[in-house]
Each structure stands twice: as structure tokens, then as C-alpha cells.
Amino acid sequence: MTTMTEASVREFKMPDVGEGLTEAEILKWYVQPGDTVSDGQVVCEVETAKAAVELPIPYDGVVRALHFPEGTTVDVGTSIIAVDVSGGAAPAPAEQPKAEPVAAVQEPKAEEPKAEEPKAQARQPVLVGYGVATTSTKRRPRKGAVTTVPAPAAAQAIQGEMNGHTGQATVVEKSRPLAKPPVRKLAKDLGVDLATVTPSGPDGIITREDVHAAAAPAKPAEPVAPAAPVAPAAPAQAAPAPVVTYDGARETRVPVKGVRKMTAQAMVNSAFTAPHVTEFVTVDVTRTMKLVEELKQDKDMQGLRVNPLLLIAKALLVAIKRNPEVNASWDEANQEIVLKHYVNLGIAAATPRGLIVPNIKDAHDKTLPQLAEALGELVSTAREGKTSPAAMQGGTVTITNVGVFGVDTGTPILNTGESAILAVGAIKLQPWVHKGKVKPRQVTTLALSFDHRLVDGELGSKVLADVAAILEQPKRLITWA
């Protein structure tokens, strides 16, 4: 990949399309070298750890080069496409580079005479995330690459790029440890001072493994008794490492990336950070199912998505209104419980790319028709794979409907940063004692998991009992609301 140095050529860098994300995979290119592009035209689709996003180009011109092929994972801030904005003819299209196993920044070449760099341009309009900032064409060299920049200055330059700053770095007496935002959060959670961690990553960057190693307690040295002199023995041969083999004909290995990678990290972080407690209740929802059928015929609900999930969501919102302390989060850094005076209701959705949890903003303020409309838009957008990263941020409480798979119940794991999650099981016709007689009734099982640091058993039980009571007697939606 050749770095364009002409003043008329603009390098478009991979933007941060979600808060704190550090990389994205190029799914599809919509342009090729030689194509003419205009300001705002979508040039490629990328997949982050949260969603698939289309990237528009912020200027007019002719595509000079695509720096990475489809399927490559690229770090945020790395140039992915070069565009000639002078309007001149483009050179003959070069062969698209082959995909490599690991995405990396461009290889540094031997020193060449540098062309005069163009004058810094103003920051471009925001496209997605933080938009595109004009920076120099410097890239972090790969591990083992030779650089002529002094070590302190190089460290400052790398840290500046990681933090989104531009310009020449100023050498200070003590540089800040180099680490990506997720690694810094991990160190904060484990109480590790990054200044004391020995980095093992390229260019002195601290990795997650470095933080875990620093957090592990040091083994105390065992006292050694003076030993009698013995005859020198032959040096022991190191035991060969076991060879791990895989049956390629009977096994398939799938790389962990994108939504699956983010989900795995979030679930591990939640399961081993928040002490989970799960409570269950089985409830007769026959009256709720009758109300669903009646609402489908209501003229005010025509064209809207009316199903049991709609009334379950409304029941949970009423239960939160009656028990507002459950709508909170735990601030470990400040040792505070943050009470939320709004409800961003998350709905767990299974998509072809994996599990995502978009949320309905300010769901507590919505009427039943407005809530139905928001639920419909959320589900359709998720199925199309068009959910934005912003739609998956800021949730306070979540509902997961495992009943659609015929499952009776489960023990859901909290969405990171939230206090509670309600699992809804399958609604089945079962024998039930109703008015002193055994009759067939529509029955389901609810499961509420909550963070026991801020929600005690009494509060969690009240919330679950309120949801069950509303679904058993849906008229409480009026009397309690």
C-alpha cells in the first residue's frame, strides 16, 4: 500500500463508529479505483463489535486506491481509501491487496525523501461516531519495525493517535502508559496502576494479558535450606510442548469477532462483576391474552405491532414506577448507586450477526400506541441488521423473550451497566386452579435477574410480583398507573 503524498489526494480514515470501539471489519466495498464519488456517498459497509454501519465519503473526487480488501479488520484511525479531489484522471486500477490473517496498519518502508505536507485542513463534518479528523499520514509501525523517532517522542505520538489528537507530540518528562480504552477500564476495575505494568504489546502498548498478570498475586518465595554439595548433573532437557491437533474434516473453527466478540466480553464482564440473583414466578395470563386480541381490533392500534410482549413491557414499566429504586446502576469508581429517573427499555433481539440489545429511549413517557410503534421499529431495524450503536447504549432495564423459542424460562445475565433483566417464558395452555376449579388457562413463567449490590431480595421480589399481578389482572395497568 502506497501512501499518497500529493496535495490533491485525501486519505479517508476508519472513523470511530461507536463509543470507544477500536476496530471494524470491512464487509463490502461499493466503489473501485477509478470510480467518481461525491460528498456523502456511501463507499463501504463495515461491521463493528456492535452493528453494521455504512460509511459515506466526506468529499468529491476520484477513487485512487482501496487500501484493504473486504473481510479485513482495520484499526480506527487507519486510512482505508484514497481519493483524488482535484478531479483529474485516476491511474490504472491497481490489483486489490490480498487479505491477510491479521489486520494491521501499513508496513513502514525504508526512509524516503518526504514530500512537503499540505497545510492542515479544518475538521470534516461528522459522519458517524466522531467523524474524520485531519492528521498526518503517520502510522504506528508493526512490531519489530525500525523507527528513527526517539522512544519518548514515539510513545507520545502513538498515544496522541490513540486518543484522537493530532499534531506533533511534545516530549514530557514522564509519558502516560499506552493502553486502549477497554484495557484502561479493565485496569481500573482490577485496581491496577498502569504505570506499574510492564507492556508486552507492539510499541510498548499494554495488553489485557499484561493487566491480568499485574493483578495476579505474586507467589511468596519459599525458604530454601542449604543443600549439601552434590555432583554436577547433566542439564535437564525441557519437556516438549504438547502438540494440539484438530480434525479439519469434522470440526469448523469460527473466528470470534464483531457482535459475537462484543457479546462475549459483555457477558463475562457482567457475570463476574455483578452478583446475580434470579427469582421466578408462574402466572396465569389468560386475561392478558384476551386483552391482546381486543387491542388488535381497536382502531387506535390499527397498523401497530400488538402482541403479549407489548403488555409485558408496559407491565414492567408500571412496576418500575411503583418501585423506582430498581432502576439504577452501580458506579464502582465513585462508590455510588446512580438512580435513573428515566427508563430506556432494552429488548434483547436475536439477529443473523448475533445477540444485540437495542433500547427504547424514555419508554416510561410513552403511551401504549407509542410503545407499540417503538417496539415495531426496534424489531424490524434489528432484523435488517441496521441497528445503530447509539440505539444500543444507555439502557437501564432489559426484557428477553425466550418464550418465542418454546422455552419455559431461564436465568438471564444482566446487560452490562443495568440493574435488572426480565425473562419471559413460553405461554402455554395448562391446567390451573381458577375460582376453585381446575381449568385450562394460559400460563407463563417469568424470571427476574438483578444486581444484588443495589437491589436486595425484597425490592426484586416486589418488582417481579407487580409484573405478575398486572399480567394476571391487566386492569391494574389503569389503577396502578
HEC profile of 109-130: CCCCCCCCCCCCCCCCCCCCCC
Type of residue at 337: I
Type of residue at 157: A
- Quote the cell numbers at residue 74: 482495520
Whether 67 sits among the annotated catalytic residues: the reply is no
SS3 422: strand
From the candidates 165, 212, 434, 452, which is the catalytic residue?
452
- Quote the cell numbers at residue 3: 501512501
- Quote the cell numbers at residue 89: 484522471
Task: Fill in the DSSP letter of residue 15.
Answer: -
Beta strands in 143-201 (DSSP E): 178-179
Q: Which of 367, 372, 317 is nearest to 342 (CA)?
A: 317
- Quote the cell numbers at residue 20: 470507544
Task: Answer for the pair 197, 184: CB distance below 8 angstroms, yes or no.
Answer: no
- Please list, in sequence order, all residues whose beta carbon lies within 8 angstroms of the beta carbon of residue 71, skipping any fewer than 6 positions away: 25, 26, 27, 99
- Quote the cell numbers at residue 104: 494491521
Helix H or strand E segment including 434: strand 428-434
Q: b/e per residue, 327-361, with b = 16+ CB within 10 A? A: bbbbeeeeeeeeebeebbbbbbbebebeebbbbbb
Neighbour tally for 470: CB within 10 Å: 27
Catalytic residues: 452
